Structure 1
Amino acid sequence: MTTEPEKDRVGVSSPARWFEARPLLLVALLACAGLAFAVLAHAVMEGDTRAFDEWLLLALREPGDLANPIGPEWFEEMVRDISALGGTVVLTLAVVIVAGYLWMVDRPQKALFLVVAVSAGALLNRLLKFGFARPRPDIVAHGTYVSTESFPSGHSANSAIVYLLLGMMLARVEASYPAKVFIFIVCTMLTLMIGMSRVYLGVHWPTDVLAGWAVGACWALLCWYVLLRLQPSGTRR
Structure 2
Amino acid sequence: MKIINAVQATLGAKPEVVRAARGMSHFGEHALGWIGIAAVGWLVDKPRRRQWAGVAVGAVGAHAASIVIKRVVRRPRPNDPSVQVNVSTPSKLSFPSSHATSTTAAAVLLGKLTGLPLPAVLVPPMLLSRVVLGVHYPSDVLAGSALGAASAAVVLAAERRLDSDRTR
1:215 and 2:147 correspond = yes
Shift of 1:136: 0.7
Question: Does residue 117 of the first structure (1) align with residue 61 of the second (2)?
Answer: no
The equivalent of 1:202 in structure 2 is 134
Q: Deviations over 1:146-174 (max 9, x none)?
A: 12211000110000111211111222xxx
Q: What is residue 81 of structure 1 aligned with on the other side?
A: 23
Quote the residue 2:68 is aligned against.
Answer: 127
| Match in the other structure for 1:97 | 40
Kept in 1: contact 2:59–2:103 (CA 8 A): no
Q: Closer, same or farther in 2 for the Cα pair 1:203/1:122, shift >3 Å?
A: same
Name the CA distance, whole Å, in 2 between partners of 1:192 and 1:226: 26
Determine the C-alpha separation between the residues in 2 that align with 1:161 and 1:210.
Answer: 13
Distance 2:8 2:59 in 1: 34
Equivalent residue for 1:143, pick from 73, 81, 86: 86
| Structure with more helix by fraction | 2
- 8 A Cα contact 1:150 1:204, kept in partner: yes
Cα deviation for residue 122 of structure 1 reads: 2.0
Q: Matched residues in 2 for 1:114 and 1:76: separation?
A: 28
Alpha-carbon displacement from aligned partner over 1:6-30 (angstroms, at most 9, x marks no partner): xxxxxxxxxxxxxxxxxxxxxxxxx
Cα–Cα, structure 1 residues 90 and 116, in superposed 2: closer, same or farther, change >3 Å? closer
CA deviation profile, 1:3-53 (whole Å, cap 9, x unmatched): xxxxxxxxxxxxxxxxxxxxxxxxxxxxxxxxxxxxxxxxxxxxxxxxxxx
- Indicate if the aligned counterparts of 2:60 and 2:102 stay in contact, CA closer than 8 A: no
For the 8 Å contact 1:85–1:194, the answer to whether it is kept is: no
Contact residue 69 and residue 201 of structure 1 kept, 8 A: no
Normalised TM-score (structure 2): 0.82
Q: For residue 6 of structure 2, what is the amino acid of its counterpart?
A: A
Deviation of 1:101 after TM superposition, in Å, equals: 3.0
Is the contact between residue 164 and residue 188 of structure 1 (CA under 8 Å) also seen in structure 2? no
Tell me, in whole angstroms, the C-alpha distance in 2 between the residues paired with 1:170 and 1:152. 27
Q: Quick one: structure 1 residues 61 and 87, their matched pair in 2 at CA, closer, same or farther if it must change by over 3 Å? A: same
The correspondence for 2:104, drawn from 133, 136, 160, is: 160
**Count of residue pairs the alignment pairs up:** 162
Take 2:18 and 2:152, find their aligned partners in 1: how far apart are those partners? 30
Stretches of structure 1 that go unaligned for 5 or more consecutive residues are 1-53, 63-67, 172-182
The whole-number CA distance in structure 1 between the counterparts of 2:21 and 2:77 is 19
Partners of 1:128 and 1:227 in 2: CA distance: 25
Deviation at 1:80, TM superposition (A): 2.3
Partner SS for 1:60: helix
TM-superposition CA deviations, 1:128-150 (whole Å, max 9, x none): 11111111100112111112211
